[in-house]
Amino acid sequence: MVDNKFDLNIKDQDGFRKFIEYEAATLIISLLEKGSVDEDKAGKLSQITLDLIIPGMTVEELYLSGVKLDDHDPELAPVVYKIMKIYEEKFEKKAIDQVSTMVKNKQYGQAQDLVKKVLQFKISN
């Protein structure tokens, strides 16, 4: 289950980045404590996270980078799952709500742009 301690909205890239970093750090510490990885491997997993999750990225960039965390190291797969889950729960549903509001306010162009954006992410992932 996704941790709800981070109250995210569609523009909260800093909160989303901190969520990803927290989840990665928690997982790496847990793997170390269980003896599933050694300190060298834990350092590599941490470095992968730091290389992919960079302050200043947009929510979309964080999502696209975050889902790559387990490309070379399957140990980070639980973090990728949480990233995908929270993106679906917090950002896509928010976008759908925003589209509904825009249509009700006759902001058809903006609603269309937002729908295209959501669909682009669905297709590319």
Mean per-residue pLDDT, 27-39: 97
pLDDT exceeding 70 applies to what percent of the chain?
Answer: 83
Residue 27 lies in a domain: yes
- Per-position DSSP letters for 27-47, written without gaps between them: HHHHHHHHTSS-HHHHHHHHH
- Split at pLDDT 50, 70, 90, the class of 10 is very low
pTM tops 0.85: no
**Per the structure block, which two tokens stand in for 5?**
């301690």
Residue 2 lies in a domain: no
Residue 4 lies in a domain: no
Domain range spanning residue 116?
13-124
pLDDT tens-place string over residues 86-98: 877 777 777 777 7
Residue 35 lies in a domain: yes
Q: Structurally, how many domains does the chain consist of?
A: 1
Outline where 4-124 has alpha helix (H). Answer: 13-34, 39-52, 59-66, 77-86, 93-104, 108-124
